[in-house]
Structure 1
Amino acid sequence: MSKQHDPNDAVDYIIKHAAQFADAKAQRVYLEEFRKSKKAMLMRDSLETALGAQEREAYAHFEYLELLLGIKEAVRIEEKLRWDLIAAQARIEIYRTQQANLRAEGKATI
């Protein structure tokens, strides 16, 4: 049989890391929204007059590319925390199932 996990540890983990997950999600959403503002600022600063050329320059600008790397990292952090929380929830469900099975076995032997 696999190692028993204390469901209280899983609940404690969720409580401890919920704020980190919220912060990570807030950071990701902020960066995704800021990306639009950054593009507009870079287009405004462009020497090009055609919108298509301004957009091309904005997308190729090093500041925009750095922002994309920031979004990538924010998504990585958020997803890691999200899956850790999902795993903790799964441990609680496994414990509940095991306890129900033990109760059912106890009734079957009586």
Structure 2
Amino acid sequence: MTDTRIDHFSDEAAQKALDFLRFQAGEAAISRANRIYMEEFRKTIKANCMAASPEKTLTAQERDAYSSPEYIAHLEAMRAAIELDEVHRWKMVAAQATIEAWRTHQANRRGEQKMQ
């Protein structure tokens, strides 16, 4: 059985993690901006749907808004935006952890060399 894991202590793994953070930052920022926009725009859709409702009470208008096709479609799009943002976030966390593990390993190696 072949081990296909990356050695997280290698210089190559650390460089790949740094490159990932550097080159994916723009994409991650866009996905975060989209998520925030979708979360905020949800309020606009709700307000517009409530205004278009023939109901008189706010509770009935809100019920109509939450059950409207526009609101439901927006929630589905919002789910996709949140998922993409979370994928970027966790990949960045993993890259940061790889770099931190490499740094710790390097410090340990220097300590061992001083003791020899």
TM, length-normalised to structure 1 = 0.92
Structure 1 residue aligned with 2:65: 58
Q: How many residues align?
A: 108
Q: Let me know the Cα RMSD of the aligned residues.
A: 1.2
> Using the alignment, how far apart are the partners of 2:94 and 2:50 within structure 1?
43
Deviating beyond 3 angstroms after TM superposition, the runs of 4 or more aligned structure 1 residues are none
Q: Tell whether the 8 Å contact from 1:5 to 1:91 is kept in structure 2 after alignment.
A: no
Indicate yes or no: 2:108 matched with 1:101: yes
Q: 1:79 to 1:44 in 2, by over 3 A?
A: same
> Using the alignment, how far apart are the partners of 1:5 and 1:27 within structure 2?
34
Q: Which runs of 5+ in 2 are unaligned?
A: 1-5
> Using the alignment, how far apart are the partners of 2:81 and 2:65 within structure 1?
21
Kindly state the Cα deviation for residue 26 of structure 1 after the two structures are TM-superposed.
Answer: 0.5
Kindly state the Cα deviation for residue 66 of structure 1 after the two structures are TM-superposed.
Answer: 1.0
Q: Tell whether the 8 Å contact from 1:10 to 1:92 is kept in structure 2 after alignment.
A: yes
Structure 1 residue aligned with 2:3: none
Kindly state the Cα deviation for residue 96 of structure 1 after the two structures are TM-superposed.
Answer: 0.8
Letter in 1 for 2:78: I
Name which of 64, 68, 74 aligns with 2:81.
74
Letter in 2 for 1:20: E
Letter in 2 for 1:43: M
Q: Percent identity?
A: 42
Structure 1 residue aligned with 2:34: 27
Q: Tell whether the 8 Å contact from 1:11 to 1:88 is kept in structure 2 after alignment.
A: yes
Q: Which runs of 5+ in 1 are unaligned?
A: none
TM, length-normalised to structure 2 = 0.88
Structure 1 residue aligned with 2:15: 8
> Using the alignment, how far apart are the partners of 2:41 and 2:95 within structure 1?
32
